[in-house]
Structure 1
Amino acid sequence: MTRPIVLLFLLVVLIITSQFEWKQQLVNEMEDSPSVSQKQNHLLNREEVVKEKIILSQEKTIQRLNLLVHSLQQQLLECRRSNSTINFIGNSLTTNVNATERQQIVED
């Protein structure tokens, strides 16, 4: 009869000690959890900073491209004005040459 009682006692002791070990593991995991959470927050913050830098870089590039487009539009307008002036001068010269030729024909 003493043998089953000793076995039962040992079983109870085993169960109690295992409960303490489980609780200790849970406490350790909970203590580790904030550090993991802090690391994740830090990583998320770094990711946000990188995203902001990328966005700022893209905005600068867009501004530069807009300035280039504006410059090219100005150059195109100048070319059109120059071209229309040349066409006007060419037409008036042609008209003068034609008038001079007509006068020469009439005089002949």
Structure 2
Amino acid sequence: MTRTWVLLFVLMFIVLTSQFEWKEEVESEVESSRPLILSDKEQHIPQGKESVQEKKILSQEKNIQKLNELVQDLRRQLRQCRNENQAELTELVTELDQLPLSGV
């Protein structure tokens, strides 16, 4: 009987804590989606769909530029690794060529 009560208590604890976490997530989403309070001057400026789309496009262009820079950096690192590996491979082949052949 006590085992049942312990399991029931644990289950209720899990349900309650998950509801609190869910509530916190919803509250943070609501806060982030609230429109900013604009001054009187800013409220009179029309903010249409075109302006929003332009901002999205600019943001995407910045992200693309950052990604391009990262790709270039990764390519540079890859070339550097290839060069280092090629040099090490060349050294190993040279060392192998210099080893005496035994048993021949």
TM-score in terms of structure 1 length: 0.50
Counterpart residue number, 1:79: 81
Q: Distance in 1 between matches of 2:81 and 2:68?
A: 20
Specify the alignment match of 2:99 in structure 1. 97
Aligned residues: 59
Amino acid at match of 1:56: L
What amino acid sits opposite 1:68 in the alignment? L
Q: Which has the higher helix share?
A: 1
The aligned residue for residue 55 of structure 2 is 53
Q: How far did residue 68 of structure 1 move?
A: 0.5
Aligned counterparts of 1:78 and 1:67: Cα–Cα separation in 2: 17
**2:90 counterpart residue number:** 88
Give the counterpart letter for 2:71 in structure 1. V
Task: Tell me by how many angstroms 1:77 deviates.
Answer: 0.3
Aligned twin of 1:70: 72
**CA RMSD across the alignment:** 1.9
Q: Determine the C-alpha separation between the residues in 2 that align with 1:92 and 1:47.
A: 67
- Alpha-carbon separation, structure 1, partners of 2:64 and 2:50: 21
Q: Which amino acid aligns with 1:78?
A: Q
Identical aligned pairs, as a percentage?
39
* TM-score, normalised by the number of residues in structure 2: 0.51
Structure 1 runs (4+) deviating above 4 angstroms are none
**Structure label with greater radius of gyration:** 1
Q: State the alpha-carbon separation in 2 of the partners of residues 82 and 97 from structure 1.
A: 23
